[in-house]
Amino acid sequence: MTILHFYRILIMSFLSNVILMCGIYLERHDADSNIHRFYALTISPGIFSDWSLVREWGRVGSPGTVRSNWYESEEEAIKAQNDILRTKQRRGYTLAAITC
């Protein structure tokens, strides 16, 4: 599933008044350095017309560190998600899954 497909699902869900919590899951593996990491990004609506970007990261198979950032609009949350996604891909993370 591509990022474009992910956004189409997200837009269709809002047009049908169904709210989905969708996420992007990235992984980075380097067997020589014993590096096996994940990074998850999830955007979800809040109850006060705000949006959260929940980030979780850590070693694959272990519980990760979780941090939430709140944004006034969905567009701001998506922009922040895309910025983090680009940064992580530059650092060697690859797209492992998109969930909805």
Could you list the beta-strand ranges (E) of the chain: 22-30, 35-45, 51-59, 65-71, 94-99
Q: What is the pLDDT of residue 15?
A: 47
Q: What is the pLDDT of residue 8?
A: 59
Ranges of each domain in the chain: 3-99
Fold of 3-99: q64v53_bacfr protein fold (2.20.140)
Does residue 36 carry a pLDDT above 80? yes
Q: What is the pTM of this model?
A: 0.76
Mean pLDDT of the residues in the chain: 85
The backbone torsions φ and ψ at residue 93, rounded to the nearest 5 degrees and listed phi first, read -75, 145
* pLDDT tens-place string over residues 54-97: 999 999 999 999 999 999 999 999 999 999 999 999 999 999 99
Confidence of residue 33 (pLDDT cuts 50, 70, 90): very high
